[in-house]
């Protein structure tokens, strides 16, 4: 059986993508959590991941690293990873790639911290632009393909890439249109997402850099298992 190596559930947004996809598609895998220990985990993570980062998938002795590469491997195993129609598949792939390589301002200002509820206080032009673009692509998907997921009635890799963003939207009370906010709520209500968040809240580890980054632009409303 394949092993998916992930980081701390509270912080590891990249790990959440393949994890939630595999759970939603009920693909069998063993989960191995390698926790972050301080700001530099490179040498330790290099023992199992060539990039020194998580997630990575180990399958029959073959290692696949980087969340997008893992998802593409999953698509070779299960055709449900991407949507069925060409138009939906093109849109889903484009969205996944845009999220993979973009939204840097949003990512930096609002790190994924599952256990804490923040109120975002200051935005820059770059964060505003990322939020406007996010709203645009969510509305486009929901309108063109009819929801409740991004490209129609079933969860695909595009939704998996949006799950960590939904945690940020909710965790920082970010402003989006009501249809986009409803979509984020739909993702957060999925059973695997509820489980991930519950387990994230139970983790005792605190990553000071992520916590400091979040507090640069936001105040804490409530927190589970941290001060």
The count of residues interacting with ligand GSH (CB under 6 A) is: 13
Considering beta carbons, is residue 55 or 192 the nearer one to ligand GSH?
Answer: 55
The answer to whether 108 contacts ligand GSH (rule: CB under 6 A) is: no
The answer to whether 111 contacts ligand GSH (rule: CB under 6 A) is: no
The answer to whether 36 contacts ligand GSH (rule: CB under 6 A) is: yes
Residue 210, φ and ψ in degrees, nearest 5: -65, -40
**Taking contact as CB under 6 A, which single stretch among the options 47-55, 91-99, 137-145, 168-176 is the one that binds ligand GSH?**
47-55
166 Rama class: left (phi>0) / alpha (psi -120 to 50) / beta? alpha
Contact 68, 55 (CB under 8 A): no
Strands (E), 38-95: 56-59, 62-65
SS3 81: helix
The answer to whether 55 contacts ligand GSH (rule: CB under 6 A) is: yes
Min dist. Cβ of residue 125 to ligand GSH (A): 25
The answer to whether 10 contacts ligand GSH (rule: CB under 6 A) is: no
Long-range contacts of 173-181 (CB under 8 A, 24+ apart): 173/117, 173/118, 173/119, 173/120, 173/221, 174/110, 174/120, 174/131, 175/131, 176/131, 176/134, 176/135, 176/138, 177/135, 177/138, 177/139, 179/138, 179/139, 179/142, 180/134, 180/135, 180/138, 180/139, 180/142
**Taking contact as CB under 6 A, which single stretch among the options 53-61, 169-177, 186-194, 212-220 is the one that binds ligand GSH?**
53-61
The answer to whether 53 contacts ligand GSH (rule: CB under 6 A) is: yes
Q: Pattern 179-208, binding to ligand GSH, x per CB under 6 A?
A: ------------------------------
Interacting residues with ligand GSH between 67 and 96 (CB under 6 A) = 67-68
Identified binder of ligand GSH from the candidate list 54, 74, 81, 88, rule CB under 6 A: 54
CA distance 202 to 46: 27
Q: Which residues bind ligand GSH (CB under 6 A)?
A: 7, 12-15, 36, 41, 53-55, 66-68
């Amino acid at each position: 059986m394949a092993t998916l190596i992930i980081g701390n559930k509270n912080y590891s947004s990249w790990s959440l993508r393949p994890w939630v996809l595999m759970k939603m598609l009920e693909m069998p895998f063993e989960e191995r959590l390698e926790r972050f220990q301080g700001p530099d985990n490179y040498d330790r993570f290099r023992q199992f991941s060539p990039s020194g980062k998580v997630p990575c998938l180990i399958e029959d002795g073959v290692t696949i690293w980087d969340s997008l590469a893992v998802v593409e491997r999953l698509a070779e195993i299960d055709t449900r990873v991407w949507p069925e129609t060409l138009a939906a598949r093109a849109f889903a792939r484009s969205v996944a790639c845009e999220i993979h390589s973009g939204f840097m301002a949003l990512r930096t200002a609002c790190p994924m911290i599952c256990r804490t509820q923040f109120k975002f206080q200051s935005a820059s032009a770059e964060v505003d632009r990322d939020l406007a673009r996010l709203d645009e692509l969510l509305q486009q998907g929901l309108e063109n393909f009819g929801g409740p997921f991004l490209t129609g009635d079933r969860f695909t890799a595009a939704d998996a890439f949006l799950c960590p963003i939904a945690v940020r939207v909710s965790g920082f009370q970010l402003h989006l249109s009501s249809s986009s906010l409803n979509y984020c709520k739909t993702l957060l209500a999925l059973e695997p997402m509820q489980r991930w968040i519950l387990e994230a809240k139970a983790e005792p580890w605190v990553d000071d850099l992520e916590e400091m980054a979040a507090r640069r632009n936001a105040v804490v409303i409530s927190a589970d298992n941290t001060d």
